[in-house]
Structure 1
Amino acid sequence: MWIRAILVVVLVCLLILHIWKLLSVSKKYPPGPSILESAAQIMRYGFRVHPDLLAKLAKTHGKIFTLWGGTQRLVILSGFEAIKEGLIKNSEIFSRRPVTPFFKVVAKEKGIVFSNGHTWKQQRKFGIVTMRRLGLGKKGVQNQIEDEALQLVEIFARTKGQPIDPSLPIVNSTTHVACALVFGDRYSSDDEKFCKLTEAIQYNAEFGGTLFHLMYEIFPWLMKQIPWPYKKSFAYVDVLLSHAKKEIEKHRVEPPMEEPQDFIDYYLFQIEKTKNDPTSTYDNENLVQCISDFLSAGTDTTAKTLQWALLLITTHPDIQEKVHKELDDAFGSSQIIGYQDRKKIPYTFALLHEVMRYKCIVLSGNPRMSLQDITILGTFIPKGSIIVPDIHSVLSDPKIWETPEKFNPSHFLDKDGKFVDREELLLFGAGARLCIGKDLAKMELITFFSNLLRAFTFKLPEGVKEVSTEPVLGFTLTPQPYKLCAIPRNSET
């Protein structure tokens, strides 16, 4: 018993010493709540960084403030001016990604999303160039998205106007596109490997930001001793990585006939091309992680945005009517609508951007780290600070948006009804870490959404007066489960 008592005393002393050290250097950081106040506030919001919490703290401490996340100090950039000054005007200084204990195990600082320095620059540049290459030609990405849109329309048509939960077919569609891009294959939705992939992607998207995830980030040494849900998350990561490795070997055995057809083809060619270059980071480990990055980042966010879009037009029949009129005026009943047609349907394109603003699926951008001391808007930020941009503060700012609390597609239209791309829509990030899948996501959204709306009128099931539009808080903001009815607009659907 006395040994346990001594151990407890030692641990308490070490914890007090650690907190004292943290507090001794906190004076260098921007103002903010104390470590105890931060913990109390986060507990009040269910261990989540809630938008109301950040708005309250920004009002008290200013547009740049420090929030304690466990034993980590997070420097929050609130408002467009602060975020633009930090992530765009000083992009290179904030280009580093802090690697937390959880993501260090998951990604091992490989690939694009969680790598840094020379590795990140090479992998990111290659990813951007390859995405452009895959968008060209007869079998480009756009053609695959259009084919997938027709499949999605067919799935909705089979319901014959009966209630359907749209989440699964939408997730399957976005995952099909990602698989075609990376592997060159379109799996059947019933394929066991495909089902495991979608299950893995969805679980990890929902696990991120939970209490168990945060506990691992704060106490990794303790969590490794406890069989909590993070182990299931690691198992699903292994599902993604294992599938990627099998596909890579398959591509090595069956090289492309004439020219590369997918991301793996291009990457294997790059490995061979640079095998004698001592500065090259093109290798099997980075390829595996790049595939995982594409599958994880390129499916969940797009799928959830489309789920929000269908929910919002169902609950706003007047807006849905305007979309129907625009689509009818611009296209025939059988023509497939693609990304290249977006200029013909400015209201529909604006509506999708408004969905991204109004139901921002990420409250804060992925964290960055300052590579040097810097002063922004008169506030000093020391080297090594973890920077978190408060995206929601920009997308809900009444100084920027005419009616920030309302769903209003006119936010992205000029006085002549033409689409206006707003730099304040920071959903895809900004600066050096701008999401390389931004254009792909927009291609999918406009193609899927416009073809569904041309074919159907979406209504709530009979007897359902209203549905909740409050999100389920997590790493991304998900609509609460809902069903709708896809009523065919003509006999050809």
Structure 2
Amino acid sequence: MELLGTTTIFLLVCISCLLLFTTWRSTSQKQKQPPGPTTLPIVGNILQLNLSNLPESLKKLSKEYGSVFTVYFGPQKVVVLYGYDAVKEALIDQGDDFSGRGNLPLFKKLLKETGIVTSNGETWKQLRRFTLTTLRDFGMGRKSIEERIQEEAHFLVERIRNTRAQPFNPANFLVHAVANIICSVIFGDRFDYEDEKFITLIDLMDENNELQSTVQAQIYNFFPTVMDYLPGPHQKLIKNTEKFYEFTLGIIAEHQQTLDPTCPRDFIDAFLNKMHQEKGNSHSEFTTETLSRTTLDLFLAGTGTTSITLRYGLLILQKYPEIVERMQKEIDCVIGRDRSPCMADRSRMPYTDAVAHEIQRFTDLIPFNVPRSVIKDIKFRDYFIPKDTMIFPMLSSVLHDSKEFPNPEKFDPGHFLNAKDLSLFQTLDFYYFLLAGKRVCAGEGLARMEIFIFLTAILQNFTLKPTVDHKDIDISPIVSALANMPRPYEVYFLPR
């Protein structure tokens, strides 16, 4: 009897497995998933990709598999969306479905999924709602933040003037100026350019930008469990990020000691007030750790991309002195030399506005956009995409779309000017959809203000003189897995 019982159980298990297999196979045939290259065990498609120029590899795959396809980075499955139509359909038309944050193991290790950038679900919704409201309360998108940018532009111009027309790399000057804008919002004040804590913070950020591009950091995303036990630059990256958190925790502690709940000075004070309001809620998303992570998210997001865009923009403008000359004529005509640029000037400066937009398009700073994920099982076009699948909405494929931008590999402000009347700025609907969607950067409007005001203030006061013949300047990016970076350079800022 015992033997018969064991045999019966074995047969039932076998039949169950067979039924499950049959059901899975039937379901997988009915629910067609996006195509892609053949994968290998463990490594996935890594051997078929050029990790030093991943955007180019994915561009080639899109020609073979279409605008929606699948690749495997080690065991990690990723669905790639390539081209304007596919990206818009996902991020705008089905924005709710694609509103999750993709789970990159390195980001998860560094940011702990507690800040606004990497969190998901209810945590993300509450943090984003609070952050947007608080940033508006402290001037984001209003005249008060514009005045802070103008003040910082004045400090930047004077700092450049003190170089006395000697060549130098403007990277640090630009990152310090941009960082001070977001610092004034989240920390309550700007830093002196020589402040040791401030310099240390910027140095850590610069070092981390380089470390994120190393091979070891990329491999971490594929095999995090193994890489946790191996030495390398990824370990330095993790330690540096913890130093960031120690810095923010120190400022939070100072704010707690001097907090006046009736008069919040900045984002941290507002968050501390929210924590106090939810003190009795054991499930509250508003904790000291979340504050520390969100503060760091805002600092990094509000500093890195804008300062790099400005640095890249000044490199590009050195190559095209005729563009600078035309911009300066427009600046002199509309603003003159005696007052600071303001956002109200932009509508009367179509060429300068077009140049600023073209800089952002051409630099294509984050080719993959920030990875997304689908929050439930969905149907996208003719394909089934399971819940939590990571999504790469290729921003590069939109910004370099030859249908929308003739000769997209060329830097041409005409891309944003009316073809019939070059004195008119051309609003492109498909370009601005990138500024919409569920997870658009909270500081997008701030970044556009900074780029316009800083760039205009610099060219109002200085002419750029390269250290080499302008025809020999290489404006192609240094490509990494995460971002396109400008090549290092020095430049003379000659007073006008």
TM-score between the two structures when normalised by the length of structure 2: 0.88
Amino acid at match of 2:132: I
Give secondary structure in 2 for the equivalent of 1:171: helix
Residues 48 and 210 of structure 1 are in contact (CA less than 8 Å); yes or no, is this contact kept in structure 2? Answer: no
Q: Which residue of the partner structure matches residue 56 of structure 2?
A: 52
The alignment status of 1:477 with 2:489, answered yes or no, reads: no
Q: Which residue of the partner structure matches residue 371 of structure 1?
A: 375
Q: Which residue of the partner structure matches residue 167 of structure 2?
A: 163
User: Whole-Å Cα distance in 2 between the matches of residues 65 and 268 of structure 1?
Assistant: 44
Residues 137-191 of structure 1: per-residue CA shift (max 9 Å, x gap): 9993222211111111112212222212111111111122222221112222222
CA-atom RMSD in angstroms: 2.4
Write the mapping of 1:94-133 to structure 2, written as runs, cut at 5 A. Answer: 94-133=98-137
Residues 168 and 492 of structure 2 are in contact (CA less than 8 Å); yes or no, is this contact kept in structure 1? Answer: yes
Q: Which residue of the partner structure matches residue 20 of structure 2?
A: none
Q: How many angstroms does 1:314 deviate by?
A: 1.2
Max Rg structure: 2
Residues 42-73 of structure 1: per-residue CA shift (max 9 Å, x gap): 2xx2x245222121111100110111212111
Amino acid at match of 2:161: A
User: Whole-Å Cα distance in 2 between the matches of residues 48 and 75 of structure 1?
Assistant: 20
User: Whole-Å Cα distance in 1 between the matches of residues 28 and 276 of structure 2?
Assistant: 49
Alignment partner of 2:156 out of 145, 152, 168: 152
Write the mapping of 1:59-74 to structure 2, written as runs, cut at 5 A. Answer: 59-74=63-78
Residues 82 and 377 of structure 1 are in contact (CA less than 8 Å); yes or no, is this contact kept in structure 2? Answer: no
Q: How many angstroms does 1:136 deviate by?
A: 6.6
Q: Which residue of the partner structure matches residue 188 of structure 1?
A: 192
Runs of 4+ aligned structure 1 residues displaced above 4 Å come to 24-28, 136-139, 426-430, 462-465
User: Whole-Å Cα distance in 1 between the matches of residues 140 and 94 of structure 2?
Assistant: 33
The alignment status of 1:420 with 2:426, answered yes or no, reads: yes
Q: Which residue of the partner structure matches residue 16 of structure 1?
A: none
User: Whole-Å Cα distance in 1 between the matches of residues 234 and 111 of structure 2?
Assistant: 14
Write the mapping of 1:22-421 to structure 2, written as runs, cut at 5 A. Answer: 29-36=33-40, 38-42=45-49, 45=50, 47-48=51-52, 50-135=54-139, 140-256=144-260, 259-277=263-281, 280-414=284-418, 415-416=420-421, 417-421=423-427
Q: How many angstroms does 1:279 deviate by?
A: 5.5
Aligned residues: 464
Give secondary structure in 2 for the equivalent of 1:75: strand
TM-score between the two structures when normalised by the length of structure 1: 0.88
User: Whole-Å Cα distance in 2 between the matches of residues 39 and 438 of structure 1?
Assistant: 33
User: Whole-Å Cα distance in 2 between the matches of residues 221 and 137 of structure 1?
Assistant: 43
Amino acid at match of 1:335: R
Go from structure 1 to structure 2 and tell me whether the alpha carbon gap of 1:144 and 1:38 turns closer, same or farther (over 3 Å shift).
same
In structure 1, the gaps of 5 or more residues are: 1-23
Q: Which residue of the partner structure matches residue 431 of structure 1?
A: 437
Give secondary structure in 2 for the equivalent of 1:270: helix
Residues 320 and 470 of structure 2 are in contact (CA less than 8 Å); yes or no, is this contact kept in structure 1? Answer: no
Amino acid at match of 1:220: P
Q: Which residue of the partner structure matches residue 457 of structure 2?
A: 451
Amino acid at match of 2:445: D
Amino acid at match of 2:467: P
Q: How many angstroms does 1:427 deviate by?
A: 9.7
User: Whole-Å Cα distance in 1 between the matches of residues 133 and 213 of structure 2?
Assistant: 32
Give secondary structure in 2 for the equivalent of 1:425: helix
Q: Which residue of the partner structure matches residue 467 of structure 2?
A: 461
User: Whole-Å Cα distance in 1 between the matches of residues 102 and 389 of structure 2?
Assistant: 9
Q: Which residue of the partner structure matches residue 10 of structure 1?
A: none
User: Whole-Å Cα distance in 1 between the matches of residues 305 and 28 of structure 2?
Assistant: 35
Question: In percent, how many aligned pairs have the same letter?
Answer: 36
